[in-house]
Amino acid sequence: MSEPREPAGAVAGTGMGGAMDLATSEARTLERAPDGPDGPGRFAKPRSLWSDAWHDLRRNPVFVVSALVILFLFVISLWPSLIASGNPLECDLAKAQEGSQPGHPFGFDGQGCDVYTRTVYGARTSVTVGVCATLGVTLLGSVLGGLAGFFGGAGDSILSRLTDIFFAIPVVLGGLVLLSVVTSNSVWPVIGFMVLLGWPQISRIARGSVITVQHNDYVQAARALGASDSRLLLRHIAPNAVAPVIVVATIALGTYIALEATLSYLGVGLKPPSVSWGIDISAASPFVRNAPHALLWPSGALAITVLAFIMLGDAVRDALDPKLR
């Protein structure tokens, strides 16, 4: 008996023509994806690092809560009269250390000032110092560290030794020494001091990030194609090296707010009649037994503010670091 013959189509399927048909079928399958949000039969556009990070941040409850708290702080810093109609410098000694009353929910401090109004207006000083100091530190440290890491050589060595010297200076002790000779009762000497002692940290982070990024293949390819140093820095290195700097700067913002309060508490930062949480905490400390509310509210506002920025920095770090995903 003769064996049954296979159909011609089956024979062709095992030959070169069948392989071509199979490859064509797979290619069509890859070319046409199921219908989705980007349209019928189209692939979704791949997300970049920043869009992917934003996609994760929007679904992170830690980021949402901290961002809402920070947004509220910025709003009351710009327009404190929205929620506080009183004058933070208006005090009545007859009401000194009194508790909560109608229209004065936080009570009065040792000088008879409304604690609620001073707490609201104190956010302006803290947010101003924190934001300005962070911008100055980030700009100066990123430029110096990025250039040193990119060009290397003697400039990199000098900057490294200089940062080591600044790291050896205790921040609070340096503030006591430097700000004790300043007579101006303004936020700018405090901001200048923070920038002076804060840039080495950002500089070291930026330097290490630039050194890591500039050895990537796409940077070497751009260099081989004749891209200038400025183009390499601005178009290829900086956008991919800035993520660690943003994370550190976000966390440092809360640290600078706490540092301003500490220096004002010690009497070398802002001084009365300026309105600051550190000043109010210092003034309420002697009356903590008789009027604990005068210490509780500015301390609580300071703690919540610092915690919000630290939580925001942690959420941003988790979103920008691919290793943590």
Residue 325: its pLDDT value, please? Answer: 55
> Of 129-143, 240-254, 294-308, 309-323, where does mean pLDDT reach its minimum?
309-323
CA separation for the pair 189, 170 (Å, rounded): 18
**Which of 4-18, 117-131, 244-258, 290-304 shows the lowest mean pLDDT across its residues?**
4-18
Which pTM value belongs to this model?
A: 0.80
Mind giving me the DSSP string for 31-58? HSPPPBTTBTT-PPPPP-HHHHHHHHHT
Q: Which residue has the higher pLDDT, 26 or 168?
A: 168
pLDDT of res. 51: 79
- Name the percent of the chain lying above pLDDT 70: 84
pLDDT score of 11: 41
Question: By the 8 A CB rule, do 229 and 174 touch?
Answer: no
The domain spans of the chain are 1-45, 49-324
Mean pLDDT of 84-98: 89
Give 49-74 pLDDT, tens digit per residue: 677 778 888 888 999 999 999 999 99
Burial, 13: exposed, middle or buried (Cβ in 10 Å; 0-12, 13-18, 19+)?
middle
Q: Provide the phi-psi class of 152: left if phi over 0, else alpha when psi is between -120 and 50, else beta.
A: left
Structure token pair of residue 181: 């000779």
CATH of 49-324, one of 1.10.3720.10, 2.40.160.60, 1.10.150.110, 1.10.1840.10: 1.10.3720.10
- pLDDT single digits (tens) 196-233: 999 999 999 999 999 999 888 888 888 888 888 888 88
The string of pLDDT tens digits covering residues 18-37 is 443 434 444 434 344 444 44
pLDDT at res. 28: 39
State the Cα–Cα distance between residues 213 and 219, nearest whole angstrom.
Answer: 8
240-254: pLDDT as tens digits: 888 889 989 998 999
Alpha helix (H) ranges present in 267-291?
277-284
CB 302 within 8 A of CB 277: yes
Q: Tell me what pLDDT residue 137 has.
A: 95
